[in-house]
Amino acid sequence: MKKSIAMVLAGVMALSMTACGGGGNTTTAAAGGSGTAAGSTAAAGGSEASGSGENSDRALYVEISSDPGDLTPFGNNGTNPVRIKGQIYERLYEYGYNYEVTPILAESWEQKDSTHWVFHLKEGVKFSNGNDFTASDMLFSMNLCKDGTVMSKKYVEFVDFENTKIIDDHTVEVALTSPDAFFFSGFCGVYMVDEESYNASGDGLASEPIGTGPYKFVEWTTGSSVKLTANENWWGGDVKIKDVVFKVITESSQRSIELETGGVDLVLDLGMADYDRLNESSDYSVLVNDTFRTSSIYFNCSEHSACNSKELRQAIAYAIDANGILTGAYSNFGSIAKSFCNEKMLDYNEAWAANDYYTQNLEKAKELLAASGYDAAKPLSIIVSDDPLQNTMAEIIQAYLSQLGITAEITSYESAVYNNAIDDEAGGWDISFVTLTAPSCQILDICNAFFAEDGINRSCFQNAEFNTLVKKAVVEPDEKVRAEQIDQLVAIVTEDVPAYMMVQTADLYAYNNDLVGFQVWNQTNFQAKDLSFK
């Protein structure tokens, strides 16, 4: 028996020993240059590294909520892959801190006319493998976008490739097929890629991303972490933090705990429930950053829904108290929408907020309900995805509608089929949820993409004047005229309410107090090159 117990214990020990071996599918950058960096990162080793050694040797550990999945330049452009790719690749210019236009690889640019832009590239820029960055790389990158994903195609949607030409090694003239209101904001999505490395890689730089950015790729253990190290060829000089490790932490509550236990230095996806605890601590800083996203409801404006009636849509909007949504669902992080447009949008007009945007008014709601001729015997159908936030909001709206005598039934769909359910206008839904935003951060883009007849138009909104105006505004070269057109568009969607904007959302970030320089870059990103440890 003693022998058996000893055997079992020996087995446990053996398993424990194998357990110490780490594991995971590890993709490592090719030898040469990165070898030393890999060693130093490995030596840092998780939480034990934090707080030890000189600043430059201390690795920065950053939480990301999911595995990036794809590090090809124009593959998955979700929030987490872009947070990593944003350190490796660079663009000509970006909307950076405070969403201000920041030149990066473009020294300058000028718009020659409504369809021609000239970009002057920075000289002396090298990729992390030592290759020079030239105008031909820029053109190659634009072509990659054109042949890439749905999102990357939009970056160069109106580019006239036949007439786009290289002037010299550091100057490119980009021609457009027609004037485009979204060209400048869209074009900044193009990462600059080394043509030679891309063609030689065989997998579209998936296993070894090479860019001009301040960091270069070292190692990716799928589902676990991505390690980067300083790019010694970076044109901007030395960075203060040499190694950056992105740690995948899927469970929301674990992110703050990892920060508190020293497992990470920076949490990019802090849960609302953890805000108070970290905010009260003197060891951490918490940042609440207003976003460009607006939590909204779509009305099914098609003939298959009772919400086909404008008066009913208005009645529902007047019945809802956005403050209740902000408090009940968003724990007061964010702010209520004061117009159809998020206040942070680039083409936002403050005058819109001066008008009343469906402030809760039950009397008015009841009048509009009566005018709509809605048969209260037939319940309204609210559909939600499996997102808990949407479920909470649906329940709150259900309660508000009951004050009008409207019965609302909530049906939950798995997120994979939720969009399909909304696409089925005859599927029996009346109200659905959507978070409205646009990569260009323009309300015109939202009008064009989500409500115009040629766009996605999940609310089946039909308004001939609106459709004509959108088409005109998108190609209108004169900014003043375009602003007037946008003003009219906002007036139409405010009056017709194909969607009701409720809450302008906020993102929460938390970091160690010894981390200096953290700011939100662009919408949800950060720049490791600007960070340092005290």
State which of residues 3, 20, 480, 534 lies at the interface with another protein (CB under 8 A).
20
For the chain, how far is it from start to end, CA to CA, in angstroms? 58
To another protein, the closest distance from the beta carbon of 204 in angstroms equals 9
Q: What is the 3-state secondary structure (H, E, C) of 349-369?
A: CCHHHHCCCCCCCHHHHHHHH
For another protein, what does the binding mask look like between residues 416 and 435, x meaning CB under 8 A? xx-xx---------------
State which of residues 33, 46, 328, 427 lies at the interface with another protein (CB under 8 A).
46
Are 71 and 220 a contacting pair, CB within 8 Å? yes
Nearest 10 degrees: CA dihedral of 305, 308, 314, 315? -50
* β pairing state of 60-64 and 243-248: parallel
Question: How far is Cα 505 from Cα 289, in angstroms, rounded to an integer?
Answer: 9
To another protein, the closest distance from the beta carbon of 435 in angstroms equals 10
Q: Does 251 bind another protein (CB under 8 A)?
A: yes
State which of residues 76, 171, 279, 462 lies at the interface with another protein (CB under 8 A).
76
Q: Which is nearer to another protein, 422 or 497 (CB)?
A: 422
Q: Which is nearer to another protein, 402 or 415 (CB)?
A: 415
Residues 92-131 that bind another protein (CB under 8 A): none
* β pairing state of 26-28 and 532-533: unpaired
For another protein, what does the binding mask look like between residues 168 and 207, x meaning CB under 8 A? --------------------------------------x-
Q: How many residues does the chain have?
A: 534
Amino acid at 85: K
Q: Which is nearer to another protein, 13 or 354 (CB)?
A: 13
Q: Does 19 bind another protein (CB under 8 A)?
A: yes
Q: Does 26 bind another protein (CB under 8 A)?
A: yes
Residues 302-331 that bind another protein (CB under 8 A): none
Q: Does 411 bind another protein (CB under 8 A)?
A: no
State which of residues 122, 146, 247, 366 lies at the interface with another protein (CB under 8 A).
247
State which of residues 69, 379, 388, 405 lies at the interface with another protein (CB under 8 A).
69
* β pairing state of 106-113 and 408-412: unpaired
To another protein, the closest distance from the beta carbon of 301 in angstroms equals 18
Residues 441-480 that bind another protein (CB under 8 A): 449, 456
CA distances 335 to 197, 325, 395, 437, 503, Å, are: 46, 10, 20, 15, 6
Q: Does 51 bind another protein (CB under 8 A)?
A: no
194: tokens are: 């080394």
CA distances 113 to 43, 93, 404, 477, Å, are: 55, 20, 54, 9
Q: Which is nearer to another protein, 246 or 340 (CB)?
A: 246
Question: How far is Cα 327 from Cα 502, in angstroms, rounded to an integer?
Answer: 12
Question: How far is Cα 126 from Cα 480, in angstroms, rounded to an integer?
Answer: 40
410: Cβ contacts below 8 Å, ≥ 6 apart: 382, 383, 384, 391, 394, 395, 398
Amino acid at 64: I
State which of residues 40, 131, 149, 412 lies at the interface with another protein (CB under 8 A).
149
**How many residues belong to the site for another protein (CB under 8 A)?**
54
Q: Which residues face 221 on adjacent strands?
A: 26, 225
State which of residues 159, 249, 268, 506 lies at the interface with another protein (CB under 8 A).
249
Q: Which is nearer to another protein, 90 or 260 (CB)?
A: 260
Nearest residue to 30 (alpha-carbon basis) of 210, 179, 183, 175: 210
What's CA 78's distance to the chain center, in Å?
6
To another protein, the closest distance from the beta carbon of 26 in angstroms equals 8
Q: Near another protein by CB under 8 A, which window of 259-267, 325-333, 505-513, 519-527?
A: 259-267
Nearest residue to 422 (alpha-carbon basis) of 390, 386, 459: 459
Residue located via tokens 């998955």: 76
To another protein, the closest distance from the beta carbon of 168 in angstroms equals 36
Q: Does 269 bind another protein (CB under 8 A)?
A: no
Question: How far is Cα 405 from Cα 316, in angstroms, rounded to an integer?
Answer: 11
To another protein, the closest distance from the beta carbon of 45 in angstroms equals 7
Q: Does 166 bind another protein (CB under 8 A)?
A: no
Q: Which is nearer to another protein, 8 or 101 (CB)?
A: 8
Q: Which residues bind another protein (CB under 8 A)?
A: 1, 8, 11-12, 15-20, 22-26, 45-47, 67, 69-70, 72, 75-76, 149-151, 154, 206, 221-225, 247-251, 253-254, 257-258, 260-261, 263, 414-417, 419-420, 449, 456
